[in-house]
Amino acid sequence: MGRTIKQCIDELMSKLEKADKYTKQHSIEVSQVAEVFAKRLSLPQEEVNKIKYAALLHDIGKIDLPKKILNASKKLSHKERELVKNHTILAEKKLKKEYPELTDLIPLIKYHHEYWNGHGYPFNLKNQEIPQSAQIIAIVDNYNALLGRKYSSRMPIHEVCKILLNGAGSQWNPYLVFKFVKFIMSDSTAQST
């Protein structure tokens, strides 16, 4: 008998906690906000669930990175940052090989670092080539990271929203960014993550 989606996710989150507690907490927060935002967009419940689960696992490929990079306490070198960029591909390989129950989530995880203007990674996809659900995760991922990175203090909400709006049309889908900023400014629970 196969594993349930929940069993697979629980197992992966346990591995992520052992590798890096910060990344696990970040993933939980991204998942929570992405789920609520997807509901606000009136997406079908099945898609909301995919977004919730994929957001939870969006950085799961990082568990296969060298520990010294994953747990670095200072800014990464250019070479180390390039290695980190492989985490979306590492996630795809891991899910295909070890967790086939989660293959529906792969596009959302694999493309969450693609930019609206085509200058993201790993495939330089642009505009509608990027699945909308991956675009949602990308916005929420950046929002959460900007709120409080591992190496910096918490940034005020209005500054985070300004950065997101400045990236509308280049890094992110402008329609989704505007909707997200409106959502964030009206939802105190999303602001507290």
Residue 7: other Cβ atoms inside 10 A: 12
Q: Residue 36: what pLDDT?
A: 96
Q: Are 112 and 134 in contact (CB under 8 A)?
A: yes
Q: Which pLDDT score, from 0 to 100, does residue 21 have?
A: 86
- pLDDT for the residue numbered 190: 59
Q: Does domain 5-191 have CATH number 1.10.357.10?
A: no
| Domain range annotation of the chain | 5-191
* Rounded-to-integer distance, Cα 140 and Cα 163, Å: 13
The reply to whether the predicted model has a pTM over 0.75 is yes
Contact 17, 35 (CB under 8 A): no
Calpha distance 109→90 (Å, rounded): 10
pLDDT per residue as tens, the chain (193 positions): 578 999 999 999 999 999 888 889 999 999 999 999 999 999 999 999 999 999 999 999 999 888 877 777 778 888 888 888 899 999 999 999 999 999 999 999 999 999 999 999 999 999 999 999 999 999 999 999 888 755 456 778 889 999 999 999 999 999 999 999 999 988 755 555 5
Total Cβ atoms within 10 A of residue 109? 26
CB atoms within 10 A of CB 35: 19
Question: What's the CA gap between 147 and 161, in Å, rounded?
Answer: 10
Tell me how far apart the alpha carbons of residues 148 and 160 are, in angstroms, rounded to a whole number.
10
